[in-house]
């Protein structure tokens, strides 16, 4: 998918296109074996990856996911999307990503800690606040970031909070980081609605995935008066025309109950989610959800990609034909990495900001990227994804050219 996205943007890069091959090749890839003692005394091995896609504009930046189906190819694509994302919102980072092939729900808390620490020790060769700064992603959280920070700090011999972002707030984390991605989804959804003359108040919203991104995006949208008509997760789909209260649903899930046991809304099958009529659809789960077949089924006006890579290039083509506006992942979910940048700045300057400052600065960076993308899309008559890639790739490749080839 990423390679196809690069091919699509190449004709718009002018002379910089001669550097485009840089984007197709990750700078470095590390595969590691992660052996751990299980609680029952057994030794188990897991496979881990960390990829630096590009570091032309700054240290590699991007999350770590724990997922049983994670693959190297997936991590390569995810790291490349981080390069585009950090360049588009103009923060001084490159792109990286990591994963361990594991189902963390099958691990005890102490097994999870041992796994995290051993994986960190293995990739610490290429980590560092000026080299590569991980963050949370699918199935990882502030506690896991704290273990990563501690393991790295023990290795180098001094507390190094800036080596990872998304940490707990009393351990060098930033206020506003936990909800930053969801807040960003809300900000770009509102701006897009405004451009199209749609009112967010009363808009019908369908959300796929109710984790860190989907859950908080739903809460922001609901607070602005939107109606969350559908929520899908691995267990099924909740549907209620009058609207689902995402705050109550969050409490319900926190109590360890399943989505489909939530009282009130009707329960549908997972796949039925795609047929539900909405004004805004927020895919906030995994990649490859909206292909050309699903794209033909959708009954919505705006798709705001909370997840990374939820729409395939063939899906994009169908959506463009059908005049469904797609706000691409690299813009829509960039709120997370923007506040990660603020966290890193606060850590290395040892000066912490209040929540208002974080939120104002987040809005400023994201809205600037949104406006630039929107203008480029109108000017060049290209979709928003291509427009975002034009802006981001130019920034990355200009840096590449200015730095020149070594030796
Ligand atoms: N995992 C998030 C993403 O995909 C955040 C990365 C970060 O904050 O570095 O954008």
Distance CA 120, CA 15 (A): 40
Distance CA 257, CA 249 (A): 10
Neighbour tally for 219: CB within 10 Å: 20
> Does residue 215 line the site of ligand 1, with CB under 6 A?
no
For 74, 186, 315, the CA distances from 22, given in Å and listed in that order, are: 18, 33, 26
**What is the 265 CA–ligand 1 centroid distance (Å)?**
32
- What the chain holds in terms of domains, given with CATH numbers, is 2-161 (3.40.50.10860), 180-327 (3.40.50.720)
User: Tens digit of pLDDT for each residue in 292-329?
Assistant: 999 999 999 999 999 999 999 999 999 999 999 999 99
Distance CA 326, CA 281 (A): 9
Structure tokens at 322: 């059908």
Q: Please state the separation of Cα 223 from the chain's center in Å.
A: 22
For 29, 122, 243, the CA distances from 48, given in Å and listed in that order, are: 11, 9, 41
> Does residue 184 line the site of ligand 1, with CB under 6 A?
no
Selected catalytic residue, list 97, 167, 242, 254: 97
User: Tens digit of pLDDT for each residue in 276-291?
Assistant: 999 999 999 999 999 9
Distance CA 142, CA 140 (A): 7
Read off the pLDDT band of 246 (50, 70, 90): very high
> Does residue 98 line the site of ligand 1, with CB under 6 A?
no
The share of the chain scoring above pLDDT 70, in percent, equals 100
Please give the pLDDT value at position 329: 98
Read off the pLDDT band of 121 (50, 70, 90): very high
Tell me which residue has tokens 């990660």: 340
For 360-372, b where at least 16 C-beta lie within 10 A, e where not — what string?
ebbeebbeebbeb
Question: CA triplet 151, 213, 333: central angle to 5 degrees?
Answer: 90
> Does residue 88 line the site of ligand 1, with CB under 6 A?
no
Read off the pLDDT band of 355 (50, 70, 90): very high
What is the three-class DSSP state of 30? strand
> Does residue 137 line the site of ligand 1, with CB under 6 A?
yes
Q: Is the dihedral of CA 155, 160, 163, 168 positive or negative?
A: positive
- Return the closest-CA partner of residue 111 out of 30, 41, 48: 41
**What is the 320 CA–ligand 1 centroid distance (Å)?**
27
Q: What is the mean pLDDT of residues 162-175?
A: 98
List Cβ neighbours of 182 (8 Å cut-off, separation of 6 or more). 212, 213, 214, 215, 216, 217, 218, 219, 220, 306, 335
Ligand 1: nearest atom to the Cα of 136? 1
Any catalytic annotation for residue 97? yes
- Return the closest-CA partner of residue 82 out of 97, 72, 99, 66: 97
> Does residue 308 line the site of ligand 1, with CB under 6 A?
yes
For 101, 178, 247, 248, 251, the CA distances from 255, given in Å and listed in that order, are: 27, 19, 13, 11, 6
The share of the chain scoring above pLDDT 90, in percent, equals 100
Distance CA 87, CA 276 (A): 35
**What is the 335 CA–ligand 1 centroid distance (Å)?**
9
**What is the 41 CA–ligand 1 centroid distance (Å)?**
35
Please give the pLDDT value at position 108: 98
Q: Give the HSE-up count for residue 181: Cα atoms under 13 Å, Cβ half-sphere.
A: 28
Distance CA 393, CA 336 (A): 20
Q: Are 193 and 203 in contact (CB under 8 A)?
A: yes
Mutation probe of ligand 1 site: the residue of 87, 166, 185 with most atoms within 8 A of C-beta: 166
């Amino acid at each position: 998918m990423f390679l196809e996205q690069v091919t699509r943007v190449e004709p718009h890069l002018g002379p910089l296109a001669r550097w485009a091959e840089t984007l197709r090749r990750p700078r470095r890839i590390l595969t590691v074996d992660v052996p751990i003692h299980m609680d029952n005394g057994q030794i188990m091995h897991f496979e881990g990856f960390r990829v630096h896609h590009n570091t032309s504009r700054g240290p590699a930046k991007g999350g770590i996911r724990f997922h049983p189906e994670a693959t190297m190819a997936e991590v390569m694509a995810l790291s490349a999307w981080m390069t585009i994302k950090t360049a588009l919102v103009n923060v001084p980072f490159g792109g990286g990503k990591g994963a361990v092939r594991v189902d963390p729900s099958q691990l005890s808390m102490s097994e999870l800690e041992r796994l995290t620490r051993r994986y960190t020790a293995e990739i610490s060769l290429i980590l560092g606040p000026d080299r590569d700064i991980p963050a949370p992603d699918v199935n990882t959280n502030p506690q896991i970031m704290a273990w990563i920070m501690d393991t790295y700090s023990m290795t180098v011999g001094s507390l190094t909070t800036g080596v990872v972002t998304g940490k707990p707030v009393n351990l060098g984390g930033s206020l506003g980081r936990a909800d930053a991605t969801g807040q960003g989804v809300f900000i770009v959804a509102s701006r897009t609605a405004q451009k199209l003359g749609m009112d967010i108040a009363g808009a019908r919203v369908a959300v796929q995935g109710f984790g860190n991104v989907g859950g908080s995006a739903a809460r922001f949208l609901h607070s602005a008066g939107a109606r969350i008509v559908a929520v899908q997760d691995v267990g099924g789909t909740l549907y209620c025309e009058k609207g689902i209260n995402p705050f109550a649903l969050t409490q319900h899930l926190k109590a360890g109950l399943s989505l489909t046991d939530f009282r009130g809304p009707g329960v549908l099958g997972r796949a039925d989610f795609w047929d539900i009529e909405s004004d805004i659809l927020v895919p906030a789960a995994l990649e490859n959800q909206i292909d050309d077949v699903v794209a033909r089924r959708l009954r919505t006006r705006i798709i705001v990609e909370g997840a990374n890579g939820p729409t395939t290039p063939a899906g994009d083509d169908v959506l463009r034909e059908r005049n469904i506006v797609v706000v691409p992942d690299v813009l829509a979910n960039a709120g997370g990495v923007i506040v990660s940048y603020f966290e890193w700045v606060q850590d290395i300057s040892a000066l912490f900001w209040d929540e208002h400052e974080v939120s104002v600065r987040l809005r400023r960076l994201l809205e600037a990227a949104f406006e630039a993308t929107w203008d480029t899309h109108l000017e060049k008559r290209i979709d928003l994804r291509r427009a975002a890639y034009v802006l981001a790739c130019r920034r990355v490749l200009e840096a590449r050219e200015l730095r020149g080839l070594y030796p």
